[in-house]
Chains A and B, each alone.
Chain A
Amino acid sequence: MAEDKDKKNLNPEGQEQSPEQDERQEQVEEKRPRYSERVKVEIFDNEFLPQIDSMYNFAYRLTYDEDDAKDLVQETYLKAFRFIDSFQRGTNAKAWLFRILKNSFINDFRKKSKQPSKVDYQEVETYYNSEGVDESITTDLRVESVQDMIGDEVSIALNSLAVDFRTVIILCDLEGFTYEEMAKILDIPIGTVRSRLHRARNLLKEKLKSYADSMGY
């Protein structure tokens, strides 16, 4: 029952929505032409499946468990296929899939852990709205010290960030999404994407600096 209820309140991208939003969504769906089975398979094979490595990477960096990452990617692809009619062919499949994956992670996996990460965005959210922002004011960290580290140490530092901060670094620095794409994937304004990125990078540098100092780099 609970599962049915969840399904009723989710939009194609896996977000929870109100009955009014459901109705609007249905109206949009009715207007959009349905794909034939052949076209569905074409879209799935040619536009969705080539993203599997990026999807797995994102899932793994969110869950830090290989089995959970596989389950999350599999679930995302099943949802994508189920709602394939709401995907507009030729548009940004990768961003669409990442949005589903991120929402699946929030709705299912993060609830399972019962340890939702809490981040105080008070100081962060307005950062880029202020005048005279100087990007150069960042934690000082020598690049050489990062290069001396092994990949595991960088992973550990990234893992230790709250998931919302970790996510923006993955999306921007590893996956190369634009601010606009990230805003859509994360359902936050572009200004928030930028402020969150800035804060996330500084936090990552602080973590790495602590490690570098402790190792005498």
Chain B
Amino acid sequence: METLSKDSPHFKRCVELLPLVLDNQTNDEDTTYFHQYVQNWPEILSCYEREIAFRSAIKQKLGTLPAPEELLTNIRDRIKQAS
């Protein structure tokens, strides 16, 4: 693909899409568009990759805490009493 300048309307669109793609808020079409055109601008691509890596690391470090087993039992008991 021919490298595009920052004057290209695709540049502005990619900048607009960047936070949305990072937050998984785009549809398939916009996501594909972003990944196709972002290759033209290493600074946007670098920002995207850093952010994705950062969020992935945070998610991995925080992990998921399973609910204690007794919690489900307690809820079921309380619902039985309430109904």
> What residues of chain A have their CB less than 8 Å away from a CB belonging to chain B?
37, 40, 44, 49, 52-53, 55-57, 60, 66, 70, 73-74, 77-78, 81-82, 134-136, 138, 141, 143, 146-147, 149-151, 153-155, 158, 169, 172-174, 176, 178-179, 194, 197-198, 204-205
Q: Give the CA-CA distance A62 to B76 in the complex, in Å.
A: 23
Q: Give the CA-CA distance A150 to B15 in the complex, in Å.
A: 33
* With contact pairs A53-B67, A56-B66, A174-B62 given, residues A81 and B82 touching in the complex (Cβ less than 8 Å): yes
Name the interface residues of B1-38: CB closer than 8 Å to any CB of A. 15, 18-19, 22-25
Among A44, A74, A141, contact of B71 (Cβ-Cβ < 8 Å): A74
Q: How many A-B residue pairs have CB under 8 A?
A: 97
Measured between beta carbons, the chain B residues less than 8 angstroms from A153 are 61
Among B57, B71, B74, B83, contact of A143 (Cβ-Cβ < 8 Å): B57
Complex contact A146–B72 (CB within 8 A): no
Complex contact A179–B25 (CB within 8 A): yes
Complex contact B54–A205 (CB within 8 A): yes
Measured between beta carbons, the chain B residues less than 8 angstroms from A146 are 54, 57-58, 61
- Smallest CB–CB gap between B78 and chain A, Å? 6
- Smallest CB–CB gap between A172 and chain B, Å? 6
Q: Give the CA-CA distance A77 to B54 in the complex, in Å.
A: 34
Please classify the interface of chain A as helix (H, G, I), strand (E, B), loop, or mixed, using the class held by over half of its residues. Answer: helix
Complex contact A55–B67 (CB within 8 A): yes
Could you write out 25 A-B pairs with CB less than 8 Å apart?
A40-B83, A49-B72, A52-B67, A52-B72, A53-B64, A56-B67, A57-B64, A70-B68, A70-B71, A73-B67, A74-B78, A81-B83, A82-B82, A135-B15, A146-B58, A146-B61, A147-B57, A149-B61, A151-B61, A151-B63, A154-B61, A155-B62, A158-B62, A169-B58, A179-B23
Interface size on B, residues (CB 8 A): 34
* With contact pairs A53-B66, A134-B15 given, residues A74 and B75 touching in the complex (Cβ less than 8 Å): yes
B66 (CB) vs chain A CBs: closest residue: A53
Name the interface residues of B41-64: CB closer than 8 Å to any CB of A. 43-44, 47, 50-51, 53-55, 57-59, 61-64
Measured between beta carbons, the chain A residues less than 8 angstroms from B61 are 146, 149-151, 153-155
